[in-house]
Chain A
Amino acid sequence: MALLSNINGVGLGLKRELIPQIQSLYGQNLIRNINFLEIAPENWLNAGGKYKDQLDWFVSRYPVICHGLCLSLGGLEPLNQAFIKQVKGFLSRYEIPLYTEHLSFCSDGGYLYDLLPIPFTEDAVHYVAARIRQTQDILGQQIGIENASSYVAAPISEMDELTFLKAVVEEADCLLHLDINNIYVNSVNFNGDAHKFLSGVPNERIVYAHVAGHYQESPDLLVDTHGEDIVDPVWQLLESAYSQFGVFPTLLERDLNIPPLSTLITEIDKIASIQQKHVSNAAHP
């Protein structure tokens, strides 16, 4: 049975490069802290052959979450309802309890396959919230919305990112998929205060979080590549989030320059130990 309560502890984004390693280390102490996995429906929908076998293998052993890339909540054309229905079938077939997406757009009538920033305007709040509601209506369940990283601030924005994020999730009545690295990336790219942003998120809606590394293009420009180790300021934000809001499931994203799992696992273990510390603190105040 697919239950959101099965998503606990630490997760890992399931990349093709990692599949054989997780399969061969499954059940061993080394990867004991991997409790759940995340996949992009855009990579796995309708996949047959060895991909279907792999998916069957993983969903029968780990709780899995779907984290999408191409729903295009801020897109210019109507929502792709056929795609949402396919996702619905996929969630049900593989007993996947949660689907999350980015607060961004990736199409202008045709897909561009990347996450592009939505200007923070009043109209955009209503437009995106309505599309999230429409998605939730089709799926028959709440979805999680991730705060997206970005490199260009729209000059036409009427509010800051936090106000926009809060307004959208409130109006859509959806869950919050909190990306800790994106908070930090945007704070550097737009000269903001990451800790202030974190303290203001609607924490009662957090369903799980992402942490990742990024590429430093210049001192004032970080690119959200998921291709490096997690930096100290992001670890500090994660600690701060746990101490303010309590521990929530947290997933490591690594999409580029993927090291062997035996190396990557140190970041998984570190998340687990921080979680442990904050669970104990909560139990013994």
Chain B
Amino acid sequence: MQHIPKTPELSFQAYQRVFAQHIRNPSANAMPSDVPIKRMAIYTEIVYNNIEGVVAACFPVTKSILGAKKWQSLVRSFMANYQASSPIFREIPKQFLDYLESAPIELPLFLTKLMHYEWVELALSVMEVTDELAAPEDVLRSPIMLNPGHFLLQYDFPVHKISINYQPKKSENITTYLLVYRDASYQVQFMELNPITFQLVTLIKNSAFSGEQVLRKLAADNPQIATEIVLQFGAQTLEALSEKGVIVGVKIAQ
């Protein structure tokens, strides 16, 4: 989806278009006429290296799993076919992921999920959180919420364990719940959740109730577990999440 100008293209624009198209895909698109090959190669190299460097920094596991050749072909394909719309450098990796999610390219089934998981770390490290965050006055009795600097994630396989040595096959169906959050010192932390804790965190995410109200709702949703047990273990979990800064108090507007 190339930008088509309404007015006829001027000669310098036509030249620039050929110049840029060659950089995007040097093997398919000719260089501008009468331009030295060696000089043009500087541009194809620096543009590729710059974009590759930014995406490689975000997706180290993905790159290692794919191997140099496949990885390079994906970055090349992104450059050749994607019209990046954000001038912000740190938004290049997400655009690369968006491209791969819809591109007609055969990829391992887990790949874009893994990439999303890797991207979450970048997204959280730069996320703007404007709310003033403070620990809840009383995690059970005062209204609580999740620290906005978080991602609550659910995958069909243990995405956080993927490496060269562990690459899930299609048949695996291990639902995996992960909470990724930014702590008070801006470090991104990862936490695997069991199903009931995932339910608990989801309830907090979608409400502004007190901890006790949330736990009573959790108990009602899980009649197979005795209410007393949900309340007791839930209270401990809420305390622990509050200590880590995952749960914060809801600021009442003055």
Contacts of A107 in B (CB 8 A): 20
Contacts A52-B128, A112-B20, A123-B10 hold; do A80 and B39 have CB atoms under 8 A apart? Answer: no
In the bound complex, what is the Cα–Cα distance between A52 and B85 (angstroms)? 24
Question: Counting CB contacts under 8 A, is B127 at the interface?
Answer: yes
How close is B96's CB to chain A, nearest CB, in angstroms?
Answer: 12
How close is A19's CB to chain B, nearest CB, in angstroms?
Answer: 13
Stretch of B43-51, B59-67, B221-229 with 4 or more beta carbons under 8 angstroms from chain A: B43-51
Encode B78-112 as 1/0 by CB contact (under 8 A) with A: 01001111111110100000000000000000000
Question: Counting CB contacts under 8 A, is A77 at the interface?
Answer: yes
- Looking at A71, A114, A118, the one whose CB has the most chain B CB atoms below 10 A away is A114
Are A116 and B16 within 8 A (Cβ)?
yes
Contacts of A151 in B (CB 8 A): 39, 42-43
Are A112 and B126 within 8 A (Cβ)?
no
Contacts of A285 in B (CB 8 A): none
Are B10 and A42 within 8 A (Cβ)?
no
In the bound complex, what is the Cα–Cα distance between A151 and B86 (angstroms)? 26
How close is B237's CB to chain A, nearest CB, in angstroms?
Answer: 26
Contacts of A69 in B (CB 8 A): 87
Interface residues of A in 120-179 (CB under 8 A from B): 121, 123-124, 127, 151-152, 154-156
In the bound complex, what is the Cα–Cα distance between A223 and B127 (angstroms)? 35
Contacts A51-B126, A108-B21, A221-B39 hold; do A42 and B87 have CB atoms under 8 A apart? Answer: yes
Question: Counting CB contacts under 8 A, is B23 at the interface?
Answer: yes
How close is B66's CB to chain A, nearest CB, in angstroms?
Answer: 22
Stretch of B28-36, B132-140, B153-161 with 4 or more beta carbons under 8 angstroms from chain A: B28-36
How close is A49's CB to chain B, nearest CB, in angstroms?
Answer: 5
Contacts A110-B83, A112-B47 hold; do A119 and B3 have CB atoms under 8 A apart? Answer: no
How close is A212's CB to chain B, nearest CB, in angstroms?
Answer: 15
Partner of B11 from the list A49, A83, A121 (CB cut-off 8 Å) is A121
Contacts A48-B129, A113-B92 hold; do A119 and B15 have CB atoms under 8 A apart? Answer: yes
Contacts A42-B87, A70-B87, A154-B32 hold; do A49 and B126 have CB atoms under 8 A apart? Answer: yes
Are A108 and B17 within 8 A (Cβ)?
yes
| Secondary structure of the B contact surface, majority rule | helix
Task: Name the residue of chain A whose CB is nearest to the CB of B13.
Answer: A76
How close is A258's CB to chain B, nearest CB, in angstroms?
Answer: 15
Task: Name the residue of chain B whose CB is nearest to the CB of A84.
Answer: B87
In the bound complex, what is the Cα–Cα distance between A223 and B82 (angstroms)? 27
Task: Name the residue of chain A whose CB is nearest to the CB of B185.
Answer: A50
Contacts A47-B128, A49-B182 hold; do A112 and B11 have CB atoms under 8 A apart? Answer: no
How close is A213's CB to chain B, nearest CB, in angstroms?
Answer: 16
How close is B133's CB to chain A, nearest CB, in angstroms?
Answer: 12
Task: Name the residue of chain A whose CB is nearest to the CB of B81.
Answer: A110
How close is A79's CB to chain B, nearest CB, in angstroms?
Answer: 11
Contacts of B83 in A (CB 8 A): 109-110
Question: Counting CB contacts under 8 A, is A232 at the interface?
Answer: no
Leading 7 A-B pairs by shortest Cβ distance? A110-B83, A109-B3, A48-B128, A70-B87, A108-B20, A50-B186, A111-B84
11 pairs across A/B with beta carbons < 8 Å? A46-B88, A47-B126, A109-B2, A114-B46, A116-B20, A124-B10, A127-B12, A127-B13, A152-B35, A156-B12, A156-B15
Knowing that A112-B20, A113-B84, A152-B43 are A-B contacts, what are 7 other residue pairs whose CB atoms are under 8 Å apart, sorted by A's residue number? A48-B129, A76-B13, A107-B20, A116-B23, A117-B19, A127-B10, A189-B39
